[in-house]
Chain A
Amino acid sequence: MSLRVNDLRVHYRTLRGEVKALDGVSFGMADGEILGLAGESGCGKTTLGKSLIRMDGRMRHAGGTVELDGRELPVGDDRAMVAFRFHEVSLIPQYSMSAMNPTRRIGRMVGELLRSRGVTLDVKELESRLDLVGLPRDVLGRYPIELSGGMKQRMVMVISTLLDPSLLIADEITSALDVSTQQAVAKALLGFRESGYVKSMIFITHDLALTSHIADTIMVMYAGRLAEKAPSDRLTKAPRHPYTRLLINSLPEIGVRHQDRKLTGIPGSPPSLLDPPKGCRFRDRCPMAGEECAEDPPPVEIEPNHFVACWKA
């Protein structure tokens, strides 16, 4: 087991109180596994990703533990986490387009970043990785603004994986791209795993169709909690949670893409995480809701590796 997350709780401090963006999430990942993390916008995907590498100033570790390769990750301790960042856990952020310092040539920036982490830049290695993602080697002499969106995306992918991290978090890295570029990026990620640049990967997206192509396992979150987690083909072919089913049913036909149709297909909206209601959080929108749903449904392993948090699954 490469990653083990136990009852992780992360809150945002706001003026109106604590937003419980991650409210007790548990799951595991095997070595070399690609986990697709899906769910509506605002369900806590980014929060989960950030919690595993670096919480921002408003986030608070409210409970739970994370274990990576048998060692505990001190997720709540910003200083202690430094040793793990980049070396063990790395991130391709949601904002790849603006992730590079605009006033430094890329090659120089990478060199300075590596030196600051006590690593010397292996130019040969860097160049072979550029080749792998199809970037010309002279990008290193350019400023980020001189690259196209797709090139910036790939450049950030290369930078983030330069130290061969054990776990890579890729947050919505395909959302801003067109379909053919999306596929190229997905292929590059698979290539990274094959070449051993990364061991396992959390691939965050709100696009279930794309996830199922690249992920081994898919985890669906709802309102700060786990709804369902299963091997990709099981989850897409035989979903058990009503929310997952609605998501899958609202998927557009293969080949046809309607960005908006997918998730607006489910009427209603998720509850506020400032003061979430007791019981199942999907209750307001669930067509199958009943009496027992006033209690929190715990995630249950109904079949090997298939977890569902629903009384009626």
Chain B
Amino acid sequence: MRQYFGRKLLIYGLTFVVAVTVNWMIPRFMPGDPVASMLARSRVSQPAAVEAMRAYYTNLFGFDQPIWQQYLNFWGALFQGDFGISIWVFPTPVADVILGAVPYTLGLMIPAVLLSYWIGNRLGAFAARRKLLDNTVLPVGYVLTAMPYMWLAVILAWGLGVTAGWFPVAGGYSFALQPSWSWAFLVNLLHHWTLPFLSLFVVALGGWAIGMRNMIIYELESDYSNYLAALGAPTRLIRRYAFRNAILPQITGLALQLGVLVAGALVTEIVFSYPGLGSLILKAIQNQDFFLLQGTFMFIVIGVLLANFIIDIVYVIVDPRTRAGMAGAA
């Protein structure tokens, strides 16, 4: 057990280091000069002033140091939660910009992931080996999972937003409102949240339903199911066991899908101009704000790794099959 977690921790640690390094490298070796773009934006025309500002910015961003020093500084800053200063909304720290967007992304993703996981698995389990349901859930599920997140988002935005006019298609809340804890604002927030949530939820739902349906069929054909049936156990008991045994590996599926789900959420946010991390990435690219881009990626990588690690631990704790296998191996 300890050996297993030790190995896992090592793998996650390595992944983290590689991710940080790549993340550090990308903006530095990408074409374009952040300082130049800052200068261009501030529209200063006197050459002397330009030089002074260049020196100021270069120093501020630490570009005047040797490259290895920059790399070490990057790590040091990272552990202090310091991602640098945003160019797009200069001089707000990147961390603050990100923290402002994170609630929107999490508010979108967590309910979408949990609900689609829960409902999708129930649906798939229920449909498995039930002719009529299976014949509807299966094709619908395949269509849904095969659909790119962006697609469904665009369809929903066009259908329920633009054409039907039921939901707003842009923003996290109406610009006329100020964020507050009032009912009016919360309702407005929810109204804007509905379509992006739905497009994430629906696509993920299909995937879980199909995965679960296949897992359940596999479990129902397994030896322990046959043995129980031979001893006259009712279908209810056999299905209950099958569900439990199938849902456990689905937890691993959740870990595997997490990256895809995050990517889906980012794209969906962009479609709906939803003020989360996805929109932030778009803004960062449009404004050549390397620090913001870097910080956002860093934040996402840490988030996904952490979530994966937690899922790994949960899986080992809830599934006796992996636990005993490890006891044997250790």
Are A and B part of the same complex? yes
Tell me if B232 is interfacial: C-beta within 8 Å of chain A.
yes
Tell me the number of A-to-B contacts counted with CB atoms below 8 Å.
74
Tell me if A69 is interfacial: C-beta within 8 Å of chain B.
no
A100 touches B237 (CB 8 A): no
B327's nearest neighbour on chain A, judged by CB, is A146
Q: How many residues of B contact A (CB 8 A)?
A: 24
B232 touches A86 (CB 8 A): yes
B228 touches A103 (CB 8 A): no
Which B residues touch A93, using CB under 8 A? Answer: 223, 226-227, 230
Which A residues touch B287, using CB under 8 A? Answer: none
Tell me if A98 is interfacial: C-beta within 8 Å of chain B.
yes
Tell me if A91 is interfacial: C-beta within 8 Å of chain B.
yes
- Return the contact of A98 from the options B223, B233, B237 (Cβ within 8 A): B223
Which B residues touch A98, using CB under 8 A? Answer: 222-224
Which A residues touch B321, using CB under 8 A? Answer: 102-103, 143, 145
A145 touches B230 (CB 8 A): no
Tell me if B26 is interfacial: C-beta within 8 Å of chain A.
no
B318's nearest neighbour on chain A, judged by CB, is A103
Question: For A54, A101, A143, which residue has the most chain B Cβ atoms within 10 angstroms?
Answer: A101
Tell me if B253 is interfacial: C-beta within 8 Å of chain A.
no
Mask, B228-241, CB within 8 Å of A = 1, is 11111110110001
Tell me if B8 is interfacial: C-beta within 8 Å of chain A.
no
Mask, A76-100, CB within 8 Å of B = 1, is 0000011111110011010100111
What CA separation (Å) do A90 and B222 show in the bound complex?
19
Which B residues touch A116, using CB under 8 A? Answer: 233-234, 236-237
A156's nearest neighbour on chain B, judged by CB, is B227
Tell me if A112 is interfacial: C-beta within 8 Å of chain B.
yes
Give chain A's interface secondary structure class: loop
Tell me if B245 is interfacial: C-beta within 8 Å of chain A.
yes
Mask, A136-157, CB within 8 Å of B = 1, is 0000000101100000000010
Which chain A residues in 22-55 approach chain B with CB under 8 Å?
50, 53-54
What CA separation (Å) do A100 and B236 show in the bound complex?
17
Which B residues touch A95, using CB under 8 A? Answer: 223, 226-227
Category for how many chain A residues contact B? 20 to 34
A99 touches B232 (CB 8 A): no
A113 touches B237 (CB 8 A): yes
Give min CB distance, B125 to chain A, whole Å. 15
Which chain B residues in 233-283 approach chain A with CB under 8 Å?
233-234, 236-237, 241, 244-245, 248
What CA separation (Å) do A82 and B327 show in the bound complex?
39
Given the known A-B contacts A100-B224, A102-B224, A103-B245, are A145 and B325 also in contact in the complex, defined by CB atoms under 8 Å? yes
Tell me if A104 is interfacial: C-beta within 8 Å of chain B.
yes
What CA separation (Å) do A57 and B245 show in the bound complex?
22
A104 touches B241 (CB 8 A): yes
A98's nearest neighbour on chain B, judged by CB, is B223
Given the known A-B contacts A113-B237, A116-B237, A145-B325, are A102 and B320 also in contact in the complex, defined by CB atoms under 8 Å? yes
B319 touches A113 (CB 8 A): no
Tell me if A160 is interfacial: C-beta within 8 Å of chain B.
yes
A113 touches B230 (CB 8 A): no
What CA separation (Å) do A93 and B222 show in the bound complex?
13
- Return the contact of A53 from the options B224, B230, B245, B248 (Cβ within 8 A): B230
Give min CB distance, B236 to chain A, whole Å. 8
Tell me if B89 is interfacial: C-beta within 8 Å of chain A.
no
Tell me if A56 is interfacial: C-beta within 8 Å of chain B.
yes
Tell me if B18 is interfacial: C-beta within 8 Å of chain A.
no
* 12 A-B pairs with C-beta separation under 8 A: A53-B230, A81-B232, A83-B232, A95-B223, A98-B224, A102-B321, A103-B244, A112-B237, A113-B228, A143-B321, A145-B324, A146-B327
**A interface vs B, CB < 8 Å?**
50, 53-54, 56, 81-87, 90-91, 93, 95, 98-104, 112-113, 116-117, 143, 145-146, 156, 159-160
Given contacts A86-B231, A102-B224, A116-B237, 14 further A-B contacts (CB under 8 A): A81-B232, A85-B230, A93-B226, A95-B223, A98-B223, A99-B224, A101-B224, A103-B245, A103-B321, A104-B241, A112-B237, A143-B324, A145-B325, A160-B231
